[in-house]
């Protein structure tokens, strides 16, 4: 059995996959397997992956199914004691596997979190530090759920995922959060390594910045999160705050929507969802640290629409 299985979905990743794979092949922890799943790429992704002869790389090729299906496929193929996820355009520090593996083994953890760098096309770079905490559970420390909910930047015990049948949502965009929340909730013990070990790359046309009809998927994703946590009273305040944060962020981001009609429809549905699920959302703690003008716009459907329309006119 390998120590760590790293799962990488790859779709049209010819510009980035080499740097991603090189960062994994140089790991200080050698007992790893790198599971690369080509999700129907139409560029030179396959030839680049096949140019590597390292036996730690396990290559699979599928027709295009989307990232949720592809990550689930990788989970099914993983043989390591622990699992990591990495996007094909990101890369990692050479000691990430060793650092997270040693922490998990030393403290008998089901899940370990690390910090990360956020890097932009223009060369700018941010250091993203999530809150430090002692080994804990989500029930004892619900604040953990308010940190970033991407599957990467974490090490999961494979038994945690397999035994609880934790799966990514398929056929929907924004599939990450339900998986991570369930993993955090079911983990017997969660730990943190206070080091930046992942380089998360933000592209102008990435999946997280492109705005089209898929934006409506976020409402279904949030609903899945709320249904899963419905009877978990220790998470209610955190989930309400998370709901307000996600919905608010995506309503304001409609300023970048390609289709004005879609943008206005999404804003209507998003505010309807907030009123139904978090009736007192205007008093939510999420807005506490927002500037007066910003929170005034964000809380009001009409003002949000006006803001987005004005932005569309000048961009």
In contact, 61 and 38? CB cutoff 8 Å: yes
What is the arithmetic mean of pLDDT over 133-155?
92
Burial bucket for residue 234 (CB in 10 Å: 0-12, 13-18, 19+): middle
CA dist., res. 257 & res. 266, Å (int) = 10
> Residue 250 pLDDT > 60, yes or no?
yes
What is the arithmetic mean of pLDDT over 256-261?
91
CA dist., res. 189 & res. 261, Å (int) = 46
Domain boundaries, the chain: 4-202, 213-314
Closest CA relative to residue 87, chosen from 156, 176, 178, 189: 176
- Tell me which residue has tokens 């779709």: 11
Please report the pLDDT score of residue 207 as a whole number: 45
In contact, 199 and 92? CB cutoff 8 Å: yes
Q: How many CB atoms lie within 10 A of CB 95?
A: 15
Sign of CA dihedral 307, 310, 314, 315: positive
Using DSSP's 3-state secondary structure scheme, residue 223 falls into helix
Give residue-wise pLDDT tens across range 39-48.
999 999 999 9
> Residue 309 pLDDT > 50, yes or no?
yes
Task: Name the percent of the chain lying above pLDDT 70.
Answer: 97
In contact, 24 and 90? CB cutoff 8 Å: no
Please report the pLDDT score of residue 170 as a whole number: 93
> Residue 18 pLDDT > 50, yes or no?
yes
CA dist., res. 138 & res. 43, Å (int) = 42
Please report the pLDDT score of residue 189 as a whole number: 98
Compute CA 307 distance to the chain's CA centroid, rounded to the nearest angstrom.
Answer: 28
Rg for the chain, CA atoms, rounded: 20
Integer angstrom CA distances of residue 211 from 171, 223, 255, 259: 17, 20, 9, 9
Q: What is the chain's percent helix, strand, coil content, to nearest 5?
A: 45, 20, 35
CA dist., res. 306 & res. 277, Å (int) = 24
What is the arithmetic mean of pLDDT over 238-245?
95
pTM to 2 decimal places: 0.93
Give residue-wise pLDDT tens across range 190-220.
999 999 999 999 986 544 445 688 899 999 9
Task: Name the percent of the chain lying above pLDDT 90.
Answer: 88
CA dist., res. 220 & res. 243, Å (int) = 12
CATH placement of domain 4-202 = 3.90.550.10
Please report the pLDDT score of residue 6 as a whole number: 98
Average pLDDT, the chain: 94
Please report the pLDDT score of residue 315 as a whole number: 79
Please report the pLDDT score of residue 1 as a whole number: 67
Give residue-wise pLDDT tens across range 154-199.
999 999 999 999 999 998 888 899 999 999 999 999 999 999 999 9
């Amino acid at each position: 059995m390998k120590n760590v299985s790293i799962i990488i979905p790859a779709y049209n990743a010819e510009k980035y996959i080499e740097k991603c794979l090189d960062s994994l092949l140089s790991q200080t922890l050698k007992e790893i397997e790198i599971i690369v799943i080509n999700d129907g790429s139409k560029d030179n992704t396959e030839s680049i992956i096949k140019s590597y002869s390292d036996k730690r790389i396990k290559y699979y090729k599928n027709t295009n199914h989307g990232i949720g299906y592809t990550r689930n496929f990788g989970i099914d193929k993983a043989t390591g004691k622990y699992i990591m996820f990495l996007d094909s355009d990101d890369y990692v520090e050479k000691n990430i596997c060793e650092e997270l593996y040693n922490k998990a083994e030393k403290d008998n953890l089901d899940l370990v979190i690390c910090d990360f760098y956020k890097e932009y096309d223009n060369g700018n770079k941010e250091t993203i530090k999530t809150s430090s905490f002692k080994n804990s559970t989500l029930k004892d420390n619900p604040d953990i759920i308010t940190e970033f909910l991407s599957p990467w930047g974490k090490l999961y015990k494979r038994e945690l995922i397999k035994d609880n049948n934790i799966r990514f949502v398929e056929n929907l965009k924004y599939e990450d959060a339900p998986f991570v929340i369930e993993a955090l909730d079911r983990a017997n013990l969660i730990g943190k390594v206070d080091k930046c070990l992942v380089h998360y790359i933000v592209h102008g046309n990435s999946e997280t910045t492109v705005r089209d009809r898929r934006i409506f998927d976020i409402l279904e994703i949030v609903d899945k999160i709320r249904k899963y946590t419905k009877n978990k009273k220790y998470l209610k305040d955190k989930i309400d705050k998370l709901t307000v944060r996600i919905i608010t962020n995506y309503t304001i981001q409609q300023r970048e929507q390609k289709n004005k009609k879609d943008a206005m429809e999404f804003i209507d549905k998003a505010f309807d969802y907030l009123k139904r699920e978090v009736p007192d959302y205007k008093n939510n703690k999420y807005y506490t640290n927002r500037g007066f003008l910003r929170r005034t716009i964000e809380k009001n459907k009409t003002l949000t629409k006006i803001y987005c329309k004005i932005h569309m006119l000048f961009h």
